[in-house]
Amino acid sequence: WDEPIVFELSTPGERGILIPSVEPSVREAVGDVVAALPEGMRRPAPPALPEIAQMRVLKHYLRLSQENLGSDLNVDIGQGTCTIKYSPKINDQLIEVPQLRALHPAQDPADTQGALEMLWRLERLMAEISGMDAVSLASPGGSAGIWTNIAMIRAYHASRGEGEQRDEVITTIFSHPSNAAAAKVAGYKVITIHPDTDGYPDLGALKAALSERTAAIMVTNPEDTGIYNPAIQEWVEAAHAVGALASYDQANAAGILGITRARDAGFDVCQFNLHKTFSAPHGSGGPGAAANAVSAALEPFLPGPRVERVDGRFVVREAGDLSIGHVAPAHGVILHVVRAYAWIMALGAEGMLAASQIAVLNNNYLLQRVLEIPGASAPYATGRRRIEQVRYSWQELFEQTGITSEEIGIRMADYGFHYWTSHHPYVVPQPFTLEPTECYSKAEIDEYVSALAQVAREARETPELVRTAPHNQTVHHTHHDDLDDPERWAITWRAYRRKYFGETPADFSAPADLAGAAA
Amino acid sequence: WDEPIVFELSTPGERGILIPSVEPSVREAVGDVVAALPEGMRRPAPPALPEIAQMRVLKHYLRLSQENLGSDLNVDIGQGTCTIKYSPKINDQLIEVPQLRALHPAQDPADTQGALEMLWRLERLMAEISGMDAVSLASPGGSAGIWTNIAMIRAYHASRGEGEQRDEVITTIFSHPSNAAAAKVAGYKVITIHPDTDGYPDLGALKAALSERTAAIMVTNPEDTGIYNPAIQEWVEAAHAVGALASYDQANAAGILGITRARDAGFDVCQFNLHKTFSAPHGSGGPGAAANAVSAALEPFLPGPRVERVDGRFVVREAGDLSIGHVAPAHGVILHVVRAYAWIMALGAEGMLAASQIAVLNNNYLLQRVLEIPGASAPYATGRRRIEQVRYSWQELFEQTGITSEEIGIRMADYGFHYWTSHHPYVVPQPFTLEPTECYSKAEIDEYVSALAQVAREARETPELVRTAPHNQTVHHTHHDDLDDPERWAITWRAYRRKYFGETPADFSAPADLAGAAA
Amino acid sequence: MSEPFVHPYIPNTAPEVKAEMLAAVAAASASEFYADVPADLRLHRPLNVPAPLPAEQDLARHVRGILAQNRTTEERLSFLGAGTYNHYVPAVVDEVIRRSEFLTAYAGEPYEDHGRFQALFEYQSLMAELLAMDVVNVPTYDGYQAAATGLSMAGRLTGRGRVLVVSDVLPEKDSKVRDYVRAALEIEVVPTVDGTADVAALRERLGDDVAAVWVETPSFTGAVETRLREISDAAHAVGAVVVVGTDPIGYGVLTPPALHGADIVTGDIQSLGLHQWFGGAHAGFIAVHDDPRFVMEMPSRLFGLESTDVPGEYGFGDVAYDRTSFAHREDGKEWVGTAAALWGIAAGVHLSLMGPQGMAELGELLLARTRYAQRELSAIPGVALGDGALHLREFTVRFSSASAPDLVAALRADGIEPGVVVDDSTLLVCVTETTSAADIDRLAAAIAAALNTREEQAA
Amino acid sequence: MSEPFVHPYIPNTAPEVKAEMLAAVAAASASEFYADVPADLRLHRPLNVPAPLPAEQDLARHVRGILAQNRTTEERLSFLGAGTYNHYVPAVVDEVIRRSEFLTAYAGEPYEDHGRFQALFEYQSLMAELLAMDVVNVPTYDGYQAAATGLSMAGRLTGRGRVLVVSDVLPEKDSKVRDYVRAALEIEVVPTVDGTADVAALRERLGDDVAAVWVETPSFTGAVETRLREISDAAHAVGAVVVVGTDPIGYGVLTPPALHGADIVTGDIQSLGLHQWFGGAHAGFIAVHDDPRFVMEMPSRLFGLESTDVPGEYGFGDVAYDRTSFAHREDGKEWVGTAAALWGIAAGVHLSLMGPQGMAELGELLLARTRYAQRELSAIPGVALGDGALHLREFTVRFSSASAPDLVAALRADGIEPGVVVDDSTLLVCVTETTSAADIDRLAAAIAAALNTREEQAA
């Protein structure tokens, strides 16, 4: 498809959908409410939205959808760190019912027992999976869950009068950047530990960094390299020894469910991503959802509202005074709560263990196959097994051919494969991160590796072919330099028309001159 | 995608879905029921179905779906005679509810009042739209509806003792072939009237063919040429004059809703296609559904069961002795009944009229634009308006370039457009039939015509490009001669493997030697 | 609606563009296009239909309000079968067939609709494995039509006019088939004995004027025909064709009819991935051996695999298109039209998910639960099994002293649909994988209680 | 499950292929891969979770059984709002966002995920027209987060630490915002007068240490701020940023905040095409002018249009990626992560369907029904409006002698959810296009009846 921008489809007078008319009885009672608006409150001209009949709107978005690769369509091994699992279709069917869709959080709890029971059940499952005492499902995303972690940690120290004193958070460079970023937003100074020469988190460096100023360590484990920190318990103990809390980002838990648990290593708080580890779909980038699990000591700090079971019925309670309050509307992303619950119930203990073990088997099989490709390497922990993913490097291939990892990724798309090029932080040179999860068959993994090997071969034999990719996509090579120049970036259609064609919309208003603001 | 045949995806031991186990209490009570099967009743080896995990099955079929052009995706003007309308998404949502999906026809009618009311309401609407007295929605397709028409006609004459005498049915060459074919199945000799030199149905020829042997005339109007028979009333009167019935195939009613009605022209019986005129989706070729509408005289012959309204409740009655009986399971295709009802209710009288008028406006606009393309013509009724479609001809272009209509159609697909090449009967040379319906905007019609003009230009300038199309599709030029040779046709994967690779399946059995059968 | 009528479904109701198009074709108004429709045939008033609901939310509320009167088989405990079965439909099946690309496709060519052709070819191929036959059609309307066409094929093949039916046939199906074949075939009933064919009686009535022997297995009462091989041998000996009507649900464990000599195997695929839909979602299959005599008699489309310009690539197309009414009107084989392709895709997805092990386990589960239900119900005093045959999914019970309609009424009051009434003393009971042992126990208890109450009232 | 564990979600549980892969990597069993996990951290028992339901039909029955306890707002007459609104969602919106291609996509690049980039760019663009601003982000979690980030942006921009809030804020939102900005900003309340801002009091408290003035319109009580221009002028005069929290539903007829001087406009798009989902489907927007000072403070992704190698072709990509935490961890602007992109696509489809006329008609309908409901309810003796402000969709009523919780309990018994309790005598009532005049009449009658009953009981 060569599908225009939606505004280009507009024909004056077309309607996409009709709205009920104001009832005559209402009209008679209230008159012309628009004309009666106070001075200046009536919009001078209608918004310049496009006018398009229904079928064409549908067609537009269906065509756009076809210009997209969901995990239902491709072999999504290339989105390492993202844990792209199969999102079972039955789970989508289970949520698409009026009993969830047409439910309001302020309804009589007698009418929402099913939803409340779902929340309660998943909390209990997550407590068992993490080994923790209490769980909240309120956080509407993985990073949001990390924020909830640090907000609780901050409230905990504040409740003990140590809020001022403890102003540092320690993380590792291969932990997800949101750990560092959320701690910063919470007001903390962030200290980042780099790995030792083997790629393992450096316990010595941690101990050197810990002090009575440390509020918490916030770490991902296994890290985005797929390496599990064998000294994780020592890390937690060291943190505890200085009065700090230990926060566990379980974004990479897909290989360790039923193998090892956060609480067993001593952690005080952790969060799981329901949209990764527990199979809820990624929705083009959200909604996501996190489960925050905490020890009994941190339970009073969990966000509200809380669901409790009393005499077999489920009741909603506002959280207590120590709580960090509300972190999102209502009870969190109920869609993902039901999906995650259904996924766990479809598998059970044996199934979750099998999922972890097969994810790890797939990953180590993939590791072996990738390392057979000339020019590819897996930095750190050479010769050791990995958990569920590996951060690889094309450095050798780059040195030999000048082809970058990003260029290889774009060429991979020509073969119908994803390959994510965001590998924060850019510590590994020419990185690529692959995570096969338990959901791909050997045949699909082999297919992916074959394409990767093919592109690596092309990098040597026909580098221009790789450099000028894509050749087989909806669009052609794009000019990214447009995007970093404020004079040229175009974040909306109206800005594009204004900047490139001088069309200033009638309702354009200039930014305020915040004269004092720069001061 | 280069998606394999589903059998090629099989890996031993994979499961796509699991089945509940036999309960221990059942097992204990009944033992091993499979082992206990009578001699020869246990299948010797499991069927050779593929073994594929769930996500891969899903991926397979999603990929196949993307290799398909639904009317939601393209500008479906090229499937003339098919009346490809917008099938409103709300109508799909309305049927996808347990209240229809999980309903059994033998349930207590008290539990199925909603479904019965839908049937009753649509019957009443169809009676008004056709002007007829009674309606059945039981026929599961358009041609099935034609069959129901002729079956009722046959029963009618039989009830009057004229079953033997009346053994002929008259149709026109531009009526849908199922009229002729169904009459043949019903035991009738079929007489086909060809148009006069202007392309209008030839009233003189009809009169010459009518006799006391005529059971019925069965005609489409407007015909597949988009020409409305201005003498239609005279046709009906002439049929009635010899004691024959008049059956109206309303497959092409999309341009005349609210304009003119079957009963007003004197017809005794007619059928509408719910999946064309009333917007129900075509489902890759079904299910369809027909509404059979009849005069009071034919009402006793309608198929059963019948829905009646008694004291505000809906009851189900078996049809009487004169009825042709059941033509399909239960009450017909309820999904399409609800969709058609919703479509009518969304439009109302004014909306259906507008739909007809715009369909006809679109068609005449399209006609004008197509005739501007050198090499295209619209045989018959030159210079006159058409109703909702036109059968065009590329004869002139073919004579000039040697490019056939079929080749043009294949090349059109390269531009993302459908173009149906089945134009039964092949009376118009190098035919193509376009039907824009009311659902396409002027912009889309223009887009389609531009592509058509472009391909016509290519036929002159770069004929080889057209002849070797497709260039831009999932597959390349296929070898149709495989398909007409019994030695080479491969109607199933197992037949393909057997014929081309000599793999005879374990459960293969040879056709019986029906020695006496040829006699 | 007093302003210019503009509707979301009809783009060119937008006044400006409509005027522009009228001008382009030099028409003053749309009525000009109807010059050929005589004035006295015109409807000079608006259609008399209810006021419309052009706002989608009003329409949705209205239709949902009507349908909300229905009570589903999820709200009732249902043992209803008789042609429409409550089998579980995997979510993936629904997901695939509701895709716009399949739902709204129609008659595209093998190039731009490659996916549809492949999906239906695969459906044919998967059914072929289940049935152990080499040719299966793109679905026709339903199992009724499939049987009617199967018999008609036999008539054309043999040039003969008699059909012997040796099984109990679902009455609605019998009605359809008889009227359909009326012009060419006469159907004679060879009454069943203890639920299945009376092979001796069949042998007596066979002759070289018999076009076909028609076998239903499972039959109307759910009885599985165990003597099909004998029937086939007898039929073939006089040159008659064996036409079977069946439900493919059991062939993960049961021997398919082809291996017992059936020539034309027909049936319905509603059991393979279609919801009940009030009986409105059926599709019929016709399977034959790869023998041109049979293939050339099939009216439906047959999608075949073919080679393309690229070696190793699969293309698809219509096999022997010249058979069809599209090609030859009344000289084609019966007719071909819009039938039930989408349901074929559904069944294909279903079989792809089930695989050999799924179909085997399902077959076993159905056999076991059927047997269990037979035992539980026949253990109730006053209840006996209708016959001693092998049953799959359905069976009849006879009440010695109670009326079947009364019993149904009594159980409906408890939220149970115990089965379909066959006659005053006989009930047709159906169990599937959705009716658990506990559900069957509940049925048995309710019947026992109802019969007891009846006895007490009588006493 | 006693046989080898094979699961449909995990292909390589198939025993043969699993063994083959283990052999390929020279591992005896999967446990070898966990060499780095110390033995004393291993869980040496199965997780203590309920027995699984691996058969899909059993799982479906179980989950549906739990959810069947819920009673929906289709079964109850609901006037509940307070942040989650019952607006009609067009079928096309649901159809688009449930497409596998959007539902299961994630972090693809602009080439293979061109459609996702375009759809979200279009969402940004459509919102921009509604809001009359040139920059809108890819959605953040919800309106709470959007306001919190908007205020944080103002703090960073100005380097100041005071925020003056001049509107009534939804308590849950206030809770979130305060905790989020705690490290950088102090929020001071300027109490409202008759439902909206006390501009005089604001002027008194403004100073050059004020980072932002925070306006909510419609406010917690549904009051529309009509003096935003004055507020903006006063704020700008001291170099403070005007941050608005809003719901975009009314901007088909109401003047958008940017035209009254707002600098950062934030809000929630649940009203634009998302179902209620028990409050679990929200997404937040942040809109600013195309001023790099503001743009560079935004934490979310911003998709921009760019040229490609083919003249006239549109490509897409991330604008100013270097702002983000992906690029710079704690040195980025707050953080970016999986938020609510799918809901942005939904809102884009919704606005594409609605067009200018749809949004205008909807705005008028909401204003009219709100006014109508205010009139009907305040006409009941003992019921008064909470304030005299202009309201959109929501408003409060005060009961002179009844308790709001008691009244709610009484109406629930009639199947009506009359509103959200604000305090013992105050109820927050919400009307939308799904609550018809007849529905409002029914509410008024029920409240009148309940109050009467109360009086009678008291008498």
- pLDDT for A517 equals 46
Q: C45-83 pLDDT, tens per residue?
A: 999 999 999 999 999 999 999 999 999 999 999 999 999
pLDDT grade for C459, boundaries at 50, 70 and 90? low
Give residue C112's pLDDT. Answer: 81
* Chain-chain contact of D56 with B17 (C-beta, under 8 angstroms): yes
- Residues in chain D whose beta carbon is closer than 8 A to a beta carbon of chain C? 8, 56-57, 60, 64, 74, 88, 90-91, 95, 100, 353, 433-434
pLDDT at D349: 98
CB atoms within 10 A of CB A504: 10
Mean predicted confidence (pLDDT) in B115-139: 98
Please state, in angstroms and rounded to a whole number, the distance separating the CA atoms of residues B500 and B494.
10
CA distance B407 to B400: 14
pLDDT along chain A (519 residues), means of 10: 92 97 97 97 97 97 91 86 93 97 98 98 98 98 97 98 97 94 97 94 97 98 94 98 98 96 97 96 95 98 97 95 98 98 98 98 97 96 93 96 94 86 79 95 96 96 93 80 91 96 94 65
Q: Please say whether the dihedral angle defined by the alpha carbons of residues A455, A458, A459 and A462, taken in this order, is positive or negative.
A: negative
A53, A62, A439 ranked by CB distance to B55: nearest: A439
**C57 inside 8 A of chain A by CB:** yes
Packing angle of the helix pair D437-458, D341-378 (nearest 10 deg):
50
Q: Return d(Cα B145, Cα C339) in angstroms, integer.
A: 11
Q: What is the pLDDT of residue B516?
A: 52
| Count of residues making up chain C | 459
CA distance B68 to C106: 10
**B515, pLDDT greater than 70:** no
C92 closest CB neighbour out of A19, A51, A89 = A89
Pairing of strands C77-78, C416-417: parallel
Asked if pLDDT for residue C420 goes beyond 70, the answer is yes
pLDDT, one tens digit per residue, over A176-186 is 999 999 999 99
Paired residues of C284 in beta bridges: C140, C268
User: Does B326 contact C335 at a Cβ distance shorter than 8 Å?
Assistant: no
Task: Pick left, alpha or beta for residue D51 (phi over 0 → left; psi -120 to 50 → alpha; otherwise beta).
Answer: beta
pLDDT value of position D48: 98
Provide, as residue numbers in chain C, all residues whose Cβ is less than 8 Å from the Cβ of B190. Answer: 329-330
> D32 exposed, middle or buried (CB, 10 Å; 0-12, 13-18, 19+)?
middle
The answer to whether C453 faces chain B, any CB pair under 8 Å, is no
Whether C419 and C428 have beta carbons less than 8 Å apart is answered as yes
Which stretches within B31-160 are classed as H helix?
Answer: 54-66, 89-95, 98-101, 113-130, 142-159
Q: Which two tokens stand for residue C1?
A: 């609606």
Are C57 and D91 in contact (CB < 8 Å)? Answer: no
Tokens for A511, please give them: 């930014």
Mean pLDDT, residues D247-265: 98
Answer whether residue D298 shows pLDDT above 90: yes
- Determine phi and psi for B218, rounding to 5 degrees: -130, 105
Minimum Cα–Cα distance from B52: chain D residue: D11
Over 50: is that where the pLDDT of B519 sits?
A: no
User: Does A68 sit within 8 Å of D112, measured CB to CB?
Assistant: yes
| Nearest-angstrom CA–CA distance, B334 and B140 | 10
Band of pLDDT at residue B517, cut at 50, 70 and 90: very low
Using the Cβ of B310 and the Cβ atoms of chain A, whether some distance falls under 8 Å is answered with: no
Chains that touch A (3 or more CB pairs under 8 A): B, C, D
Number of Cβ pairs < 8 A linking chain A and chain D: 781
Write down the mean pLDDT value for chain C.
Answer: 96
> Stretch B377-386: mean pLDDT, rounded?
93
D19 interface with B at CB cutoff 8 Å: no
pLDDT of residue A423: 67
For residues A511 and D294, the answer to whether their CB atoms sit within 8 Å is: yes
Q: So what's the ipTM on this one?
A: 0.96
Q: Chain C residues with CB inside 8 Å of A16's CB?
A: 8
Mutation target vs C (from A15, A21, A343; most C CBs, 10 A cutoff): A15
Question: Across the interface, do D90 and B90 touch by the CB < 8 Å criterion?
Answer: yes
CB-based contact, B3 to chain A, within 8 Å: no
Tokens read off for C273: 């991935």
The predicted model gives D243-272 an average pLDDT of 98
Place of tokens 């940017």: D258
> SS3 of B52, please?
coil
Chain mean pLDDT for chain B: 94
Nearest CA in chain B to A347: B18
pLDDT over 70 at C194, yes or no: yes
Q: What percent of chain D has pLDDT over 70?
A: 99
> Residue C193: pLDDT above 50?
yes
Q: How many CB atoms lie within 10 A of CB C161?
A: 13
Walk me through the domains of chain B, giving residue ranges and CATH numbers.
6-66 (no CATH), 114-345 (3.40.640.10)
What is the distance between the alpha carbons of residues D124 and D288, in angstroms, rounded to a whole number? 11
Strands D77-78 and D416-417 turn out to be parallel
- pLDDT, position C1: 38
**Higher-confidence position of D281 and C108:** D281
Q: Which residues contact D135 (CB under 8 A, 6 or more apart)?
A: A491, A492, A495, D124, D128, D287, D288, D289, D290, D294, D295, D298, D302
Q: What is the pLDDT of residue C130?
A: 98
CB contact under 8 A, D57 and B20: yes
Is residue C150 scored above 50 in pLDDT? yes
What structural domains does chain C harbor? 11-67 (no CATH), 77-84+357-458 (3.90.1150.10), 91-351 (3.40.640.10)
CB–CB of C183 and B227 under 8 A?
no
Closest CA to D63 of C456, A60, A115, A510: A115
Question: By percentage, how much of chain D surpasses pLDDT 90?
Answer: 90
Distance from CA of B441 to the nearest CA of C (A): 5
User: What per-residue confidence (pLDDT) applies to A472?
Assistant: 79
Share of chain B above pLDDT 90, in %: 87
Mutate to test the interface with D, among A34, A58, A61, A499 (most CBs of D within 10 A): A61
Burial zone of C209 (CB within 10 Å; 0-12 exposed, 13-18 middle, 19+ buried): middle
Which pLDDT value is given to residue D73? Answer: 97
Q: Are the beta carbons of A35 and A27 closer than 8 angstroms?
A: no
Query: Do B51 and D54 count as a contact with CB atoms less than 8 A apart?
Result: no
Contact (CB<8Å) C41/B347:
no
User: C207 touching B, CB under 8 A?
Assistant: no
The reported pLDDT for the residue numbered B20 is 97
> What contacts 24+ positions apart, CB below 8 Å, involve D300-303?
D300/D137, D300/D138, D300/D139, D300/D140, D300/D149, D300/D336, D300/D339, D301/A285, D301/D137, D301/D138, D301/D336, D302/A491, D302/D124, D302/D135, D302/D137, D302/D138, D303/A491, D303/D117, D303/D120, D303/D121, D303/D124, D303/D138
Map residue B272 onto helix, strand or coil.
strand
Q: Which two tokens stand for residue A226?
A: 């797929």
Q: What is the pLDDT of residue D459?
A: 61
Cα-based distances in Å from D453 to D377, D398, D426: 17, 18, 19
By mean pLDDT, which of B469-473, C363-367, D342-346, D407-411 is the weakest? B469-473
Q: What is the pLDDT of residues D153-175, one digit of tens each?
A: 999 999 999 999 999 999 999 99
State the DSSP code for B511: P
- Chain A CB contacts of C55 under 8 Å are 17-21
Question: Whose CA is closest to A82, among D112, D106, D324, D117?
Answer: D106
Contacts of D72 in chain B (CB under 8 A): none
- In sign, the C-alpha dihedral spanning D118, D120, D124, D125 is positive
Read off the pLDDT of residues C77-103 as tens digits, 9 standing for 90 and up.
999 999 999 999 999 999 999 999 999
Query: What secondary structure does DSSP assign to B442-508, as a single string?
Result: HHHHHHHHHHHHHHHHHHHH-HHHHHT--SSSSS--B-GGGGG-TTT--SSHHHHHHHHH----TT-
Please report the pLDDT score of residue A516 as a whole number. Answer: 52
Partner C contacted by A63 (CB < 8 A)? no
Partner chains of B (3+ C-beta pairs under 8 Å): A, C, D
**Residue B471 pLDDT class (50, 70, 90 cuts):** confident
Contact status, residue A444 vs residue B3, Cβ threshold 8 Å: no
Largest alpha-carbon pair distance within chain D?
87
Picking from D8, D17, D92, the nearest residue to B16 by CB comes out as D8
Check A53 against C55: CB less than 8 A apart: no
Q: Backbone dihedral region of D144: left (phi > 0), alpha (psi from -120 to 50 degrees) or beta?
A: alpha
